[in-house]
Amino acid sequence: NNSAQWDSIYDQQFVQYVHEKAPERAEALLTNTSDVAIGQEREQLAKRFIHERVVPAIEQDYAQNRAKIEAMGDGQGYSLGAYEGVVRGNYDRDAELIGQLADNAHIRRDVPQAVSSQQQAAQQGIDEVKARVQAQQSDVSATRQTLQQSHERAAKEHEAGLAAEKAAQKILPGEPSKGKRVTMRPHITPPGASKPDKSE
């Protein structure tokens, strides 16, 4: 069928492209499917081949066919509906061939989706790390505040203890307390009481 013919044509063009770009390694690149490094190099060549040769050819073919159909419609009164379907079919066929070439070269077509998923996973990981850091910062702040309060309380208790100790050291044993006076009162004998005998 036409698809198989186009597939064969593009395969031949890719072989020629590899011989042009890497003549000394063309045989290994086209036949060795077990070596990882060679497979990666082949994928890069296939990507370049698609962008440099296949896509421009498809776009040019589409533009030419579109112009021809429009010219036919303007000059001869043909309806563009049927021909539009033909052009669109050719374009879809060529797009399918590009996909087949990519599959044959083991080129992943889900790279944008994979990158998007990786970005979402990375962002989620970053958000989780931020949340953990913020929680740890809150714990550190609370611990610092508790330690500060304990330190202030201990300092006040220490100052109060020093003041009490200094006050206790100022009052020596046997000394009267400050502010008090000791008055010696004379002995008065009550009336009717016998006086002590001085001769004794």
Residue pLDDT, tens place only, 111-137: 555 545 655 665 675 566 567 757 766
Residue pLDDT, tens place only, 50-94: 989 888 888 888 888 777 776 765 555 445 555 556 666 666 666
Q: How far is CA 86 from CA 75, 80, 96, 158, 172, in A?
A: 19, 10, 15, 97, 121
Whether 15 shows a pLDDT value over 80: the answer reads: yes
Cβ atoms of 55 and 101 closer than 8 Å = no
Cβ atoms of 104 and 114 closer than 8 Å = no
Q: What is the pLDDT of residue 143?
A: 63
Work out whether the CA dihedral 96, 99, 59, 12 comes out positive or negative.
negative
Alpha-carbon Rg for the chain, nearest whole angstrom, is: 52
Distance in angstroms (rounded) separating the CA atoms of residues 149 and 147: 5
Distance in angstroms (rounded) separating the CA atoms of residues 58 and 66: 12
Q: What is the pLDDT of residue 98?
A: 66
Residues 6+ apart with CB under 8 A from 84: 69
Whether 177 shows a pLDDT value over 60: the answer reads: no
123's enclosing H/E stretch is helix 111-170
| Share above pLDDT 70 across residues of the chain, in percent, rounded to a whole number | 44
Q: What is the pLDDT of residue 77?
A: 47
Number of helices (H) and strands (E), helices first, in the chain?
Answer: 6, 0
Of 10-14, 86-90, 192-196, which range is least confident? 192-196
Q: For the whole model, what pTM was predicted?
A: 0.36
